[in-house]
Chains A and B, each alone.
Chain A
């Protein structure tokens, strides 16, 4: 009985902490957007060179790995698609499934997970280190708002870069799948391209890109929240960095499901 009560109490405390963390995340997002929109009026504009530097870091550096993985996923979907459809002799319809899954699901998802692992964790580590070195206090006492200086630039960079990276992943994935399908079913790449264009509606493309932008926000905010909550030295930074990757990927997958549920029903 006492154990059960203890357990309940611990659960309650965890839940309260979770709600508090969620509130912190929402506040941070609100403040970052505030500074992006009204920073100039408050004499603290969000600096574009800083956004560009973040964008280079998030985007350009991630291009090679995103290219490799989208190629792999395109091939994988084509192989699986043909294998599955063969069982009822419908392998000629493979393009439909492949094109929709890449554009609506796989591209945003794989891009989100990659960016969470590369940039979200880096953001958490950077903020965590800055926190334990008192660098965040140093910004505050200089009259430089830390959210404006540290959170708004990566947030803006992510919201722009994630859809662009996803678009690239779409193209690469569709191309790789097309190559396999054209060879395997003895069609031409041009015929495949025509089919893709006739299948995909703008809505499908936007569905994926909108999710990518949302994932960008999630990755940034989760990274910042975990970085800002670091305590306990370098070890704490490591712990929160790991936590930020796990949380960001979970948030991406769950949000994806909710988004799909709300939008496609």
Chain B
């Protein structure tokens, strides 16, 4: 497996929103058939990294190779081809609310293949079967529960049999039982279809259950990139803080805290002082 070319290769990726640098010198690679988890606290840049992998954002500098192709030098027709070989399950599901579940899942087939409606129907129902949503193709997305929306999003993401699957926060907003069943689904998809799966999450339990390797992002930098066991046993304090759910900036000054709470009043009290120093 290690000889095969990587499914994803990111080299020295730097990105900005306006003037603010969000990702700093990120490098990583995802092997074929592996479940690769990008983990990190809220605001660490996970979604930004994912959007770059999907080609939705342009990096300031650095190279991103998806299935061997440098996505920033591809023509739009080549990019279109590449995109039919990858699937994405968005955090909110992003199902088209004006279409039934079945039409949602069938859309990539209708747009990118010449299959007849009969075959499209069969493939659609097959994929719904895979995500345990058989018989729900006539419902509208608004009629589904949170877990079912995620499942339907997975079905749509895998309908073209992609080599590469991306999932943003698959367990966010779900109760633990449903979240765990989504984890099982991800494992099942990898085993049944042999695809590489990139999962973005801040859920530790889920990470340790499904990951082959973990990339820990912290403030836009790769803090660690290793196997599950190596990450678990890492001596790095920041990683241990993250694993043990400790916040880094513990409140030490109760006075400062109180002053912050009284923010409005403090400003007023300060104004004369500022005036004087100004003069």
Contacts and interface: CB of A to CB of B under 8 A. Distances in A.
Interface of A: 42-44, 126, 129-130, 133-135, 137-138, 140-144
B197 interface: no
Interface stretch (B84-92, B173-181, B200-208, B262-270): B84-92
A144 B107 CA distance: 10
B91 A44 contact: no
B252 interface: no
Contacts of A126: 98
B97 A143 contact: no
Given A42-B77, A134-B90, A143 B96 contact: no
B215 to A, nearest CB: 20
B40 to A, nearest CB: 20
A143 B80 contact: yes
A246 to B, nearest CB: 25
A133 B77 CA distance: 26
Given A143-B82, A143-B108, A143-B112, 16 more contacts: A43-B77, A44-B80, A129-B97, A133-B92, A133-B97, A134-B94, A138-B94, A138-B95, A140-B83, A141-B54, A141-B86, A141-B88, A142-B83, A142-B88, A143-B80, A144-B107
A134 B156 CA distance: 14
Given A43-B80, A137-B56, A142 B92 contact: no
Nearest to A135: B94
Contacts of A142: 83-84, 88, 107-108, 111
Interface string B16-52: 0000000000000000000000000000000000010
Interface residues of B, number: 25
Contacts of A43: 77, 80
Contacts of A44: 80, 111
Nearest to A138: B94
A137 B157 CA distance: 13
B80 A133 contact: no
B77 A137 contact: no
A146 to B, nearest CB: 11
13 contacts: A43-B80, A126-B98, A133-B92, A133-B97, A135-B97, A137-B51, A140-B54, A140-B83, A141-B86, A141-B88, A142-B83, A142-B108, A143-B111
